Structure 1
Amino acid sequence: MISNERVIEILKEAGVLLEGHFRLTSGRHSNKYLQCAKIFRNTKYSEELCAALAEQFGSEGVEVVIGPAMGAVQMAYEVSRHLKCENFFAEREADGKMALRRGFEVKPGMKVLLVEDVVTTGGSVKEVLELVKAAGADVVGIGSIVDRTGGKIDFGVPFKAVISVEVESWEPENCPLCKEGKLELVKPGSRKV
């Protein structure tokens, strides 16, 4: 089991934790942002963190690991490598809905692990969860490297993270950084809000 100290060390070394004035995918504002995509630019970071996550689901008989594109494509691969199973990803179609494409298919009863690099509201994961459940698969759990919910999210299946990190955020109208007007608002994530 990896220690929180080691995880924080990796996140700092990888340049994951950013400080400034950020608009999150949820629309809320924050003075910190976790750019977890940076974990996957070097296998020395992703291998250790994804192995720690895979270890938490190792006894579940996972047959496939699925992550929402784009953020969890590499993560699904790395976690599946440690679990010695298949992996693929869900992606948005032209209508904006998540779908399994490219010949990726889950079958009824298949044991599926869903992964996401960071969970804040769980929106993308919930979409993939519904998609996979509708196909009749058995979702054994959801795993993330970083849980930003403070353990407050309930997906209806086990949710495990390598680390839980609390990052303060505000509705735009209550943002102290906007009121100060000193820092430019930046949207660093993959989705346009």
Structure 2
Amino acid sequence: MANPWSLQEAIKRTGVLKEGHFLLSSGRHSARYMQCAQLLQYPHDAEQTGKALAQLFKDQVIDVVVGPALGGVIIAHEVARALGVRCLFTERKEGNMELRRGFSMKPGERVLVIEDVVTTGGSVKEVIKVLEGLGATIVAVGSIVNRNPGHNPFTYPYRALMEITIESYDPSECPLCKEGIPVVKPGSRTTLKEKI
């Protein structure tokens, strides 16, 4: 009999944790980066991760799952599938997060916001602002990984499948910059801070 699926094993097997010098979407620098796209490229792993994350919210009534493009799209879809509800995503247009592509939401719909990795929660906070503006009821926030164990950066309940401490630095205090190690931008968010 095959071993049961394990997120920790899947993350290790798919090479999610990267080592180097990275510019995070928050603008901070880090020597390690969680690239969950490496995990989610495999449909079975994506499905199992979505089911596991959905289980954290089985006590909630949820009408729709919303994730930010690009990192939150696949995992939000898999969580929505596990919960049997629809999935929407927000994306940036000229730097502003929006609900596009004909997506709409009725006031009062109960929303679960899903992201792949949360460091400062910046992208999720942008999604929440959009949803609040549409009159949605935010039920909770979830992610595969919380990079700040024990910390909830949101004003809503937050649950993650795993927590990992990965130190990050303000660019002016980054020891990797001081060593002259070139910085790499692995994420999808673009800001002025990223012009190095």
**TM-score, with normalisation over the residues of structure 1?**
0.91
Residue identity matched to 1:125: V
One-letter identity of the residue aligned with 2:88: F
Determine what percentage of the aligned residue pairs are the same residue. 49
Structure 1: runs of 5+ lacking an equivalent = none
CA contact (8 A) 1:14 1:45 kept: no
Letter in 2 for 1:60: Q
RMSD over aligned CA atoms reads 1.5
Q: Tell me which residue corresponds to 2:16.
A: 16
Q: 1:151-177, CA deviations, whole angstroms, 9 ceiling, x for partnerless residues?
A: 323311110000011101112222222
Partner of 1:163: 162
For 1:57, what is the secondary structure of its paired residue?
Answer: coil
Residue 76 (structure 1) aligns with: 76
Structure 2 counterpart of 1:186: 184
Deviation at 1:184, TM superposition (A): 2.4
Q: CA deviation at 1:73?
A: 1.2
Q: Superposition pairs for residues 55-70 of structure 1, below 5 Å?
A: 55-70=55-70
User: In 2, Cα distance between the equivalents of 1:133 and 1:81?
Assistant: 23
Q: Is the 8 A contact 1:120 1:147 kept in 2?
A: yes
**How big is the shift at 1:36?**
1.1
May I ask how many residue pairs the two structures share in their alignment? 187
Q: Which region of structure 1 is more displaced relative to structure 2, 167-176 or 141-150? A: 167-176
Deviation of 1:68 (Å): 0.7
Q: Secondary structure at the match of 2:6?
A: helix
How many Å apart are 1:7 and its aligned residue? 2.5
TM-score of the pair, normalised by structure 2: 0.90
Partner of 1:145: 144
Contact 2:64 2:110 in 1 (8 A): yes
| 1:130 CA displacement | 1.3
